[in-house]
Chain A
Amino acid sequence: DTEVTQTPKHLVMGMTNKKSLKCEQHMGHRAMYWYKQKAKKPPELMFVYSYEKLSINESVPSRFSPECPNSSLLNLHLHALQPEDSALYLCASSPSRTGVDQYFGPGTRLLVL
């Protein structure tokens, strides 16, 4: 299995809602990532988990809360988002400590109303 899966594919939420994005990989990778991507822009790194521990937080607002329940799963909990948070949210995993060779999921298209 060389796939990273993400659910849901699409999500519409209001600014007072709480929702979660899910990511799963069964490649045995011990590094997992969350990215945010706006249209016609490169992905922006948000969080890095290494061996289920948060190793990098790129100064992301607290309305985004990551969680890594085990080595295969990664969640992103969303609360009180703003319309400008609407974007494609990508999950990735990597077999290496460098993080340069990442396997990306298809993303969750998020719209905040």
Chain B
Amino acid sequence: LAKTTQPISMDSYEGQEVNITCSHNNIATNDYITWYQQFPSQGPRFIIQGYKTKVTNEVASLFIPADRKSSTLSLPRVSLSDTAVYYCLVGALNNAGNNRKLIWGLGTSLAVNP
């Protein structure tokens, strides 16, 4: 089963680009990579999802190398309101057998300073 590893915490300043990397060496063929954002006392919020190469939406980009053993969430020009915990999630619930899992990382606490 895929295990996800991400930094416990990161610090940044307003206006900077932030890159958070998640390691998932045992990713299965049909696993997706997803990132969520969570503010205190709220439910997680879906940010972006990918399978391979690069995905971009209005809030973030997700870079996935060809071997898919890691992924990097890129947040352009962060603001104070981006201070939150960011979770990397690997897996898919429609996979067969023992790969039918969603594996959450422990989360990266991002602090954006003025």
List A residues at the B interface (Cβ < 8 Å).
Answer: 4, 31, 40-43, 45, 48, 56, 88, 90, 92, 97-107, 109
Contacts and interface: CB of A to CB of B under 8 A. Distances in A.
A8 to B, nearest CB: 14
Interface string B58-93: 000000000000000000000000000001010111
Number of chain B interface residues as a range: 20 to 34
Q: Interface majority SS on A: helix, strand, loop or mixed?
A: loop
Contacts of B105: 42
Contacts of A102: 44, 46
Interface of B: 32, 34, 41-46, 49, 87, 89, 91-94, 100, 102, 104-107
A42 B91 CA distance: 15
Contacts of A105: 43
Contacts of B106: 41-42
